[in-house]
Amino acid sequence: MRVLVIGSGSIGRRHHDNLQALGASSRLVSWRSEGIGGALAAMTDAKAVVIATATDIRLPLIKAAAARGLPIYVEKPLAFRPDEVDAIAEVSAPVADRSMLGVMMRYHPAVRALAASDLSDVFQFALTIGQDVTQWRQDWRFSESYAARAEGGGVLLDLCHELDLAACLFPGLEPARVESLGHPAFPGVDFASRVSLRRQGLVGDVSMDYLTPLLHRRTMLRGTERMHDFDFAAQSYQVTEGPGARGLDLPLERNAMFLDAMRDFLALAFGTETSGNPLMPRLDLCLDSARLVARAWAMRSFVGAISKEIP
C-alpha cells in the first residue's frame, strides 16, 4: 500500500506516522520544498494520496490525483469558497467514493453516540470550541502559519469540526448570519466567529475562537424530551431526561480518531472492508458539510476587533 503524503507540517507528519503504524508504505513530500512539480512527480509511484497542504492550493493536487485514478484523503476544510467546493466535487468525482475528507471528529466515541441518539425533539443547539492560539504548539508562531492568511486562514476554517458535527447531526442546516471579530494586525482573519444556523423547527449557533485561555469544547442540545450536555474537553457526557440525568462513559485517546479514519481510508482506497462507522467521511458524502463551511466563511461579517497581542 504505497501512499503519498503531500505536506510536511504537523498534520502531514501525523498522517505519515499513522500510515506507517498501519502497515502502509508512506512517502512524505514537503510542499514548501518540492512544490507542485515535486508533488506531481511523486504521484507516479503512489497508489493513494493524502493532501495536507494549505487549503488554497489543494484543487490542482486533487485534480491531478483524481486524473490518475488515485484515491485521496483531503484534510479539512475541503475549500473556503463555495465555487471551489463545486470545482473539487467535479474533478474528484471519479474517485470520490474511494476518498475521504479529514473530519476525524466523526470517529470520536461521543460524536458517534450523539449521532446514534434520537434527536428528533431538538429545537435548539449550541456548539462551542476555542483555545488561546498562542499556546497551541511549542516553537510555533501564529503569524507564520497558514491560519494567519486572509485567504484560507482564520478560526472558522481552522476549527470547522463543529460545523461538520452540526451538519452530521442536523442535515439541511442553512447559515443565517456569521459574526466575526478580527485583529488589526491580520486584516481579513477572524479570531472569533459565531455562525447562526437554522432549518425548519430548529435553530442553533456554532462558535469558535482563538482567544480563551483554556481549551473549551462543548455541545449542548435542547429538546422537548431530553437534553444533551457533552463537554469534550472534560470528557464529561450527560443526558437529561425524565426525572434526572445520567452520564455516559466514553473514553478517548486522541490519536485513535486519526488512526481509525486513516484505517477506513486505506480500506476504501484498496478495496477492503471498512469499520462500518455510519459517519465515515467519504468524500462524495461530505460535500454538503463542506459547502456549509465554505458558505459560512463567505458570509463572515466583521463586527469588531480584539486587542490581544498575537505573535
pLDDT at 32: 85
pLDDT at 137: 73
Give per-residue pLDDT as tens, 88-117. 999 999 999 999 999 999 999 999 999 999
Grid cell in block for residue 261 = 479514519
pLDDT at 72: 98
Q: Which CATH number does the domain 105-253+292-305 belong to among 3.30.300.30, 3.30.360.10, 3.40.640.10, 3.20.20.70?
A: 3.30.360.10
- CATH 3.30.360.10 segments of the chain: 105-253+292-305
Query: Would you place residue 244 in the very low, low, confident or very high pLDDT band (cuts 50, 70, 90)?
Result: confident
**CA dist list (Å): 164 to 14, 76, 246, 289, 290:** 21, 10, 26, 6, 8
- CATH 3.40.50.720 segments of the chain: 2-103+257-281
Distance between first and last Cα of the chain: 41
Residue 83 has pLDDT above 90, yes or no: yes
Give per-residue pLDDT as tens, 53-64. 999 899 999 999
pLDDT mean across residues, the chain: 95
Residue 138 has pLDDT above 90, yes or no: no
pLDDT at 146: 86
Give the list of residues 6+ apart from residue 6 with CB closer than 8 angstroms, or none. Answer: 12, 29, 31, 39, 42, 49, 50, 51, 52, 53, 61
Give per-residue pLDDT as tens, 144-198. 888 999 999 999 999 999 999 999 999 999 999 999 999 999 999 999 999 999 9
Residue 268 has pLDDT above 90, yes or no: yes
pLDDT at 242: 82
pLDDT at 303: 98
Please state the pTM of the whole predicted model: 0.95
**Residue 28 bridge partners (DSSP):** 5
Q: What CA–CA distance (Å, rounded) separates 82 from 294?
A: 5
Q: Are 163 and 80 in contact (CB under 8 A)?
A: no
The residue among 138 and 141 whose pLDDT is bigger is: 141
Percent of the chain whose pLDDT exceeds 90: 90
Where on the phi/psi map is residue 229: left (φ > 0), alpha (ψ -120 to 50), or beta? Answer: beta
Average pLDDT of the residues in 38-60: 93
pLDDT at 226: 96
Residue 210 has pLDDT above 80, yes or no: yes
Average pLDDT of the residues in 255-280: 97
Average pLDDT of the residues in 7-13: 93
pLDDT at 139: 76
Q: Are 253 and 64 in contact (CB under 8 A)?
A: no
pLDDT at 295: 98
Residue 77 has pLDDT above 80, yes or no: yes
Query: Would you place residue 33 in the very low, low, confident or very high pLDDT band (cuts 50, 70, 90)?
Result: confident
pLDDT at 95: 98
pLDDT at 36: 87
Residue whose grid cell is 514537503: 30
The residue among 218 and 254 whose pLDDT is bigger is: 218
Assign domain 2-103+257-281 to its CATH superfamily: NAD(P)-binding Rossmann-like Domain (3.40.50.720)
